[in-house]
Amino acid sequence: MPSFSSHPKQRSDQMESGSTTSRSSGDGSQRAATEALVRVRGLHFRRGEQRIFDGVDLDIPRGLVTAIMGPSGTGKTTLLKLISGQLQADAGEIEVDGQSIGSLSRSELYALRTRMGMLFQSGALLTDLDVFENVAFPLREHAKLPESVLRKLVLIKLEAVGLRGAARLMPSELSGGMARRVALARAVALDPTMIMYDEPFTGQDPISMGTLTSLIRQLNDASGLTSIVVSHDVSETAEIADHLYIIANGQIMASGSPREVAASDSAWVRQFMDGEPDGPVHYHYPAAPLEQDLLHSAVH
Amino acid sequence: MARIRLTEILVGAFMVLGFVALFFLAMRVSNLSLATAEDGYSLTAKFDNIGSLRVRAPVTMAGVRVGRVAAIGFDQETYQAVVTLRIAEQYDQIPTDTFANIFTAGLLGEQYIGLDPGASPDMLSNGDRIEFTQSALVLEQMIGQFLLSKAEEGGK
Amino acid sequence: MLDSIASLGRAGLAAVASLGRAHLLLIGILGGLPSMLIRPRLLVAQVYNLGVLSLLIILVSGLFVGMVLGLQGHYVLSQFGAAESLGVMVAASLVRELGPVVTALLFAGRAGSALTAEIGLMKATEQLSGLEMMAVDPVKRVLTPRFFAGLISMPLLAALFSAVGVMGGWFVGVGLLGVDDGAFWGQMQSKIDFNEDVLNGVIKSLIFGVVVTWIALFEGYDTSPTSTGVSRATTRTVVHAALAVLGLDFVLTALMFGG
Ligand SMILES: Nc1ncnc2c1ncn2[C@@H]1O[C@H](COP(=O)(O)OP(=O)(O)O)[C@@H](O)[C@H]1O
Ligand SMILES: [Mg+2]
């Protein structure tokens, strides 16, 4: 929405009525009814015996930066894959721009994906193409542009991530951080309405971290994008997000503006935001008691 | 760009090379080049025993290949093998009293038909029959005869 | 006891399930044919990877196999005074059996394993998911050109193997051991039938090409996206492809030459 896309600080203030309870409720859901680009209701998903989502409701408001945070292994990447239709939910409803992901045909899903960008944790650049061709790839596939226009477009996108000079390098010649920035240029090549970032900050040096955060913010504000940032980096994420969801143990543990979440006195949230190893969220993967395992191994 | 071009050239060369190899197998290794001599004319000959003569076996005159065995059949009335020979067009001067033998190349080699020309002024033409034939030497029979004669010698 | 029966059953079910997935994948691959024909350059690049890059090993192996056949064949045949049949022996073994089979085995080792590792790593590094997210079907985009490249390359490689092998046999037999040149080629030509031998050999190599490429692509696409997974899948490709080629060769030989 145009009125939201001017000043991030103002936006955060407008969202102050959000709550930090375990369900998105109150003001958050009222607003979501009209403005949510992505609506998730009653999401259940399991991998083998492991329940990854156990009844998750969340809304991604249009035109804002929404952060999804949580300890690693809680299913943040899985959530993005569910939203983009790469995985199918076991139960529940996922709607993107009013279309229910589960009921789309393959071609409808592909049409929807041309309007979504996704920045993979690893970058996922095509290793047999150079940087330029990687960014040009979605344009060549989906937009029939003359070569000269395409060239300009690609160079502009690369300039935006500061890698125009690296256009002819192969992905194997890039550092992890550079690869991620190329992937970002590629993700926005088709000017999507929504972009999903999977752990954009890990592996970035402080300088590119800074440029990346401002890039995400700028992209969002300048072109009215909707952004979903998945991360476990508390401080960077809180800095750019308009809205936060914290997930753990298959549920939404908290939601609201960064300020509200930071001020929350819930034990879950405190532990996560302050980075304490033990608390209500278990750092340990579920297991039998240690003594039992050790004794067993002694028997063998 | 140059790399793509080089790839295309190499792939093209590879395809050409592959088809050249196939052509070599067809024309030089196998009988496709002889199969064009399919047009020609047919003769038949009846043998008491053709041994292990096969279709496609060569037909020679004076050691020169003039045709091949086109078909092998069996005559229920005379209990003889009927062999159809396909002779190349240019060899149209084969006398009617020509003798057809079944020979073996080497001791255990393949069997082929050797034509021994007669002296008749009349020439064979399409569909004619070669009257004089000599059956194949069958190794088992030869050995059997050999053993028999040895046994007779021993008996004396 | 019951446990081992259960695990046998589990393995059987898993095998059936993966066979099912392999067939579904094949259908998807074939469905990509129209979109591949729009972009022939993808196919060309893969014929380069699978065909041109396998050329050297195929030519060298073919030459040596042919030379060994010439040497051994001459040794055996000359004992029966049938050294003139050397050409037939060399050509028949190459065109009917060794050409398609050895080429397929080498192709599985050289190109098949590379295919599996490439696809598996593309999966592990999320390149396939990345394509999905760019609304590009990775099966059609990545697997289809590779499949058809394998299907094109294998018969050509097998033909080259056989041709070079015959030349190797000729070199040893005629050049070194003094078999008569005319008899070598003449007997070969009279005995080797184009339809029966050469064409059947080409059909065999085409089938082997399909099977080896299919196995390689499936193993790569179906791998668990880790380095262990990729390395296991690569091994499986070579083993399964070799077994499939040898088993199929028996069946095809029985069908083609058995009657
Ligand atoms: N391909 C897979 N097969 C089975 N389990 C998986 C797979 N991918 C992820 N998981 C499991 O799903 C859980 C969530 O994974 P993920 O979404 O990647 O976590 P996050 O991104 O939050 O770190 C993990 O505990 C992991 O064990
Ligand atoms: Mg993750």
Q: What's the pLDDT tens digit per position in A45-101?
A: 988 888 889 888 999 998 889 999 888 888 888 999 999 988 888 888 898 888 888
Chain C interface, mutation test: which of B3, B4, B10, B14, most C Cβ atoms within 10 Å? B14
- pLDDT-based confidence at B34, cuts 50/70/90? low
Nearest to A118 among C122, C125, C133 (CB): C133
What is the share, in percent, of chain A residues with pLDDT greater than 70? 83
Rounded to whole angstroms, the Cα distance separating A2 from C152 reads 56
B45/B111 same-domain check: yes
B13/B68 same-domain check: no
Query: Which residue from A46, A54, A74, A281 has its CB within 8 A of the most atoms of ligand 1, so it is best to mutate?
Result: A74
Q: CA of B109, closest CA in chain C: separation in Å?
A: 6
Whether residue A232 has its Cβ less than 6 Å from ligand 1: no
ipTM: 0.88
Give the per-residue SS3 of chain C: CHHHHHHHHHHHHHHHHHHHHHHHHHHHHHHCHHHHHHCHHHHHHHHHHHCHHHHHHHHHHHHHHHHHHHHHHHHHHHHCCCHHHHHHHHHHHHHHHHHHHHHHHHHHHHHHHHHHHHHHHHHHCCHHHHHHHCCCCHHHHHHHHHHHHHHHHHHHHHHHHHHHHHHHHHHHHHHHCCCCHHHHHHHHHHHCCHHHHHHHHHHHHHHHHHHHHHHHHHHHHHCCCCHHHHHHHHHHHHHHHHHHHHHHHHHHHHHHHCC
Q: What is the structure's pLDDT at A259?
A: 81
Q: Which atom of ligand 1 is nearest to the CA of C225?
A: 1
Q: How far is the CA of A82 from the centre of ligand 1 (A)?
A: 12
Chain C interface, mutation test: which of B30, B55, B103, most C Cβ atoms within 10 Å? B30
Q: Does B152 reside within a domain?
A: no
Q: Which has the higher per-residue pLDDT, B33 or A8?
A: B33
Binding-face residues of C in 171-190 toward B, CB within 8 A: 185-190
Q: What is the structure's pLDDT at C127?
A: 92
What is the share, in percent, of chain C residues with pLDDT greater than 70? 100
Q: Does B81 reside within a domain?
A: yes
Rounded to whole angstroms, the Cα distance separating A83 from A80 reads 5
In the block, tokens 């240029």 appear at A185
| C74: chain B residues, CB-CB within 8 Å | none
Tally of CB atoms within 10 A around C7: 10
Whether residue A210 has its Cβ less than 6 Å from ligand 1: no
Q: What is the structure's pLDDT at A32?
A: 41
Q: What is the structure's pLDDT at A6?
A: 38
Nearest to A141 among C122, C132, C134 (CB): C134
**CB of C94 within 8 A of CB of C69?**
yes
B98/B133 same-domain check: yes
Report the b/e string of C89-125 with b at 16+ CB within 10 A: bbbbbbbbbbbbbbbbbbbbbbbbbbbbbbbbbbbbb
B87/B66 same-domain check: yes
- pLDDT-based confidence at C259, cuts 50/70/90? low
Report the b/e string of C31-56 with b at 16+ CB within 10 A: ebeeebeeeeebbbbbbbbbbbbbbe
Q: Which ligand sits closest to the CA of A70?
A: 1
Q: Does B137 reside within a domain?
A: yes
Give residue-wise pLDDT tens across range C24-41.
Answer: 999 999 998 998 888 888
B67/B134 same-domain check: yes
Give residue-wise pLDDT tens across range A54-63.
Answer: 888 999 998 8
B18/B79 same-domain check: no
Whether residue A73 has its Cβ less than 6 Å from ligand 1: yes
Q: Does B150 reside within a domain?
A: no
B11/B45 same-domain check: no
Q: Does B126 reside within a domain?
A: yes
Q: How far is the CA of A197 from the centre of ligand 2 (A)?
A: 10
**pLDDT of A290 strictly over 80:** no
Q: CA of C157, closest CA in chain A: separation in Å?
A: 25
Taking Cα atoms as reference points, which of B85, B82, B86, B98 lies closest to residue B50? B82
Query: Which residue from A49, A52, A90 has its CB within 8 A of the most atoms of ligand 1, so it is best to mutate?
Result: A52
Q: Does B133 reside within a domain?
A: yes
8-state DSSP, B43? E
- pLDDT-based confidence at A30, cuts 50/70/90? very low
**pLDDT of A10 strictly over 50:** no
Record the pTM.
Answer: 0.79
Query: What is the end-to-end Cα distance of chain A in Å, rounded?
Result: 64
Q: Does B7 reside within a domain?
A: yes
CA distances from C65 to A51, B14, C55, C92 (A): 58, 21, 15, 13
**Looking at residues A12-28, what average pLDDT do you find?**
40
Query: How many structural domains is chain B composed of?
Result: 2
- Put simply, the answer to whether C81 touches B106 (Cβ < 8 Å) is yes
Report the b/e string of A117-137 with b at 16+ CB within 10 A: bbbbbbbbbbeeebbbbbbbb
Rounded to whole angstroms, the Cα distance separating A153 from A143 reads 12
Rounded to whole angstroms, the Cα distance separating A183 from A179 reads 6
- pLDDT-based confidence at A231, cuts 50/70/90? confident
B137/B74 same-domain check: yes
Domain that holds residue B23: 1-30
B50/B91 same-domain check: yes
8-state DSSP, B134? E
Give residue-wise pLDDT tens across range A136-167.
Answer: 999 988 888 898 999 999 999 898 888 888 88
Q: Does residue C103 sit at the B interface (CB-CB below 8 Å)?
A: no
* Helical axes A176-187 vs A147-160, angle rounded to 10°: 130
CA A240 remoteness from chain centre: 13
Q: What is the structure's pLDDT at A253?
A: 83
B69/B1 same-domain check: no
Query: Do chain A and chain B touch with ≥3 beta carbon pairs under 8 Å?
Result: no
SS3 of A170, please?
A: coil
- pLDDT-based confidence at A8, cuts 50/70/90? very low
Chain C interface, mutation test: which of B20, B29, B86, most C Cβ atoms within 10 Å? B29
| A120: chain C residues, CB-CB within 8 Å | 126, 129-130, 133
Rounded to whole angstroms, the Cα distance separating C245 from C98 reads 12
Q: Does B35 reside within a domain?
A: no
Secondary structure E strands in chain A: 36-47, 50-61, 65-69, 91-96, 99-100, 116-119, 194-198, 226-231, 243-248, 251-256
- Which chain C residue is nearest to residue B14, measuring alpha carbons? C52
B60/B121 same-domain check: yes
What is the share, in percent, of chain C residues with pLDDT greater than 90? 71
Taking Cα atoms as reference points, which of B121, B29, B52, B47 lies closest to residue B85? B47
SS3 of B67, please?
A: strand
B46/B119 same-domain check: yes
Rounded to whole angstroms, the Cα distance separating C164 from A222 reads 65
